[in-house]
Structure 1
Amino acid sequence: MNIEYIAKGSNAEVLIQAIIASEIGYLTKEQFSAIEIECNMIGMG
């Protein structure tokens, strides 16, 4: 159960980093959207 919380935290961290990268222009909207979809799918598991 503890490892699940760690994994969800890591998933959230990736999403936050993608948001920042998108906001400063390192990712296109399409790239960000793809990452966001993957993070949301992982978060549902």
Structure 2
Amino acid sequence: MQVELGVKKFIYTHDRIKNKERAAQTALNVLRLRLLGLLK
């Protein structure tokens, strides 16, 4: 039971880190598009 909880926690944390990376990537893409729009 304890191990199962640990695995679930690890997967949950891992997913959250992945989501943060994806969110950061999306933010960078938006910024890049905004900058390109301003530069044109």
| TM class, shorter-length | 0.5 to 0.7
- When you count helix as a share of all residues, which structure comes out higher? 2
Instruction: Report the number of matched residues.
Output: 26
Q: Which runs of no fewer than 5 residues in structure 2 stay unpaired?
A: 1-12
Q: RMSD across aligned C-alpha pairs, in angstroms?
A: 1.5
Q: Displacement, 1:2?
A: 0.4
Which fold has the larger relative contact order, with Cα–Cα distance below 8 Å and residues 6 or more apart in sequence?
1
TM-score (norm 1): 0.55
Could you list the structure 1 runs, at least 4 aligned residues long, displaced by more than 4 angstroms after superposition: none
Q: Which has the larger radius of gyration?
A: 2
Q: Which runs of no fewer than 5 residues in structure 1 stay unpaired?
A: 27-45
Aligned-pair identity in percent equals 12
